[in-house]
Chains A and B, each alone.
Chain A
Amino acid sequence: MSLRDEILSKIGLIPAMPTVIVKIRKLLSNPDVNFKELAQTIKYDPGLTSNILRLANSAYFGFSRSVNSIQHAIVRLGMKRTYELAVAAAIAPMTQKAVKGYDLLPGKLWEHSVAVAIGAEQLASVLSLKAPDYTFTAGLLHDIGKIVLGTFVEVDAAPIMTLAFQKGVSFDQAEKQVLGINHAEVGAILLEKWNLPECIVDVDRWHHQPDMFQGDTLVLDLVHVADVLSMMGGLGIGKDGLNYHSSSEVASRLKLTAKITETVVCKIMSGMKELSSLFSSGIREGNRNSS
C-alpha cells in the first residue's frame, strides 16, 4: 500500500460531521425553510446549542443585547450565519487538540482557522467586495487536512522538513513529494466525505496553489491572502512555519497594497479579541450523533 493510499484509508477514521449539521444543510437548501424548523433541529443537540449561543453573543457578531435562545439567535444572525456557526461549533472540538505532526499546541489549529475565517471576511470588507455566504466557513475549514496528517497518521515529518527548509521546497509540495498527498488535498477529500459544498472543498484543495484553480476565484483569493496574513502574524503556525508560496496573481487581482494587508492584520486581531469567548472558556464537545 502506498503512503498516499494508507493516508486515504485513515480519513475513514475521522469522526463524521454530526448528523445535525447535515440536517441543517438540507433544510437550508430548501428556499421555503422556516426558522422554527431550523431551531427545532438544532435544539436536539444541547452541546451545539450552547456553542451557537456563545458564538452569537460574542462581540464579533455585533449585538449589544444578549441572545438567549436558538430562535432568537437565528433571527438575529440569519440562517446563513447560524449554519456557519453550527459548522464552527462542530469542528471546534477536533481542532482544539494538539496536532503533533505539525508541532501545533492545543488550540493553535483552531486559532489559525478562526483567524483565516475572520481575515477572509475582513479583507473583502476592506476591499468593498461582497464576500459570498460561504467565505467564513471556507476560511475556517481550509487547514482541516492537518488533523488527518498530523494526528491520525502522525507522519514522520523529518524528510518533509529537510525538503522544505534545506531545499527550499514549499511545505505543501514537500508533503506531496514525500507522502504522495498534501494537507490541502487530504482536507478536500475529508470535506467531500462530510458532504460540504463543492465551492468550500475547492477552496481547501487549492488554498496553497490558487493560480492552478480554474473557476470562480474570489473566495479562494480571500482565503489564500487571509492564510498568508495569519501565518505572518504567527497565528497558529507550527513547524511548517511560513514555508509556503504567496500568489502575486492573487495580490494583483485583488489590487492589494501594503496598507490594505496591514489593516486586515489589525482587523484579524480585533476580530479574534471579539471572538475570545471561543478560546478562553473553550468550546464544549457537542452531542456527537455521528451518521
Chain B
Amino acid sequence: MLVTVDISDMKVSKRSDDILVTYSLGSCVALSLYDPVVGVGGLIHCMLPLSKIDPVKARANPYMFTDTGVQALLQAVFDMGAKRENLVTKVAGGARLLDSNNLFRIGERNYTVLRKVLWKNNILITSEDVRGTIARTVYLYMDTGKTTIKSGGKEVEL
C-alpha cells in the first residue's frame, strides 16, 4: 500500500508491501530509517529546524520540527523492534534558493539539526541527497528498504 507522509508528518511500518512516500521536499528534510533484520522502517518530513520557535505547536505536532521529529521517529522504530546497530539511515531535502541570504537558509539549518540529533544518538548517515535548488520526492520500499529520490521525472536510488 502506498502510505503518504504529509508535510510535518511521520509514518512507520513493518509491512513488506508498504511503500512510504513523501512529496515535494523544498528546504524541509526527510529522514528514512530501515532495519533490514526485523523489516521495520519509517519516514519523516520535517519543516523547520527547532521546536523552540513554537513550543505549543511542537507539543501538538512534534514532526513539524527537525529536533523533536527525528527523535520521535527514532523512538517509534525502536518501539517496533528496530535496533540502532542495524539502521540504514538516509537523508534528503534541505534545498535552498539560488542566492539565499542567511534569513532564508532554513534548509541548511534543518540539515545541521538533523545531523546533530543523529550524532547524539550514535547514528551515522548511510547516504544522502541534500542541498541544491531542486524539489525532491522520497520513497521507502518496505520489502527491501530501498530508498529512492524522484526529481524532475527521474527516480534514482539513494
How many residues of A are counted as interface, with CB atoms below 8 angstroms from the partner's CB atoms?
Answer: 37
Interface residue from A241, A257, A258, A265 paired with B134 (Cβ < 8 Å) = A241
How many residues of B are counted as interface, with CB atoms below 8 angstroms from the partner's CB atoms?
Answer: 35
B107 contacts chain A at the CB level, 8 A cutoff: yes
A232 and B152 within 8 A (CB): no
How many angstroms from the CA of A234 to the CA of B151 in the assembled complex? 13
* A-facing residues in B92-106 (Cβ within 8 Å): 95-106
B53 and A263 within 8 A (CB): yes
Interface of B (DSSP majority class): loop
- Stretch from A11-19, A188-196, A245-253 forming part of the interface with B: A245-253
How many angstroms from the CA of A112 to the CA of B152 in the assembled complex? 18
How many angstroms from the CA of A251 to the CA of B105 in the assembled complex? 13
- Stretch from B23-31, B80-88, B119-127 forming part of the interface with A: B23-31
A246 and B47 within 8 A (CB): no
B59 contacts chain A at the CB level, 8 A cutoff: no
A228-B104, A242-B133, A245-B99 given as contacts; is B53 within 8 A of A233 (CB)?
no
* B-facing residues in A217-242 (Cβ within 8 Å): 228-229, 231-239, 241-242
A103 and B26 within 8 A (CB): no
B53 and A266 within 8 A (CB): yes
B134: nearest chain-A partner, CB-CB: A241
24 contacts between A and B (CB under 8 A): A105-B23, A165-B133, A170-B98, A228-B104, A231-B26, A232-B26, A232-B95, A232-B104, A234-B23, A239-B152, A239-B153, A241-B134, A243-B98, A244-B98, A246-B97, A246-B98, A246-B101, A257-B103, A258-B103, A258-B105, A261-B104, A263-B53, A266-B53, A269-B8
Residue positions of B touching A, CB distance < 8 A = 7-8, 23-28, 47-49, 53-54, 57, 64, 95-107, 109, 133-135, 151-153
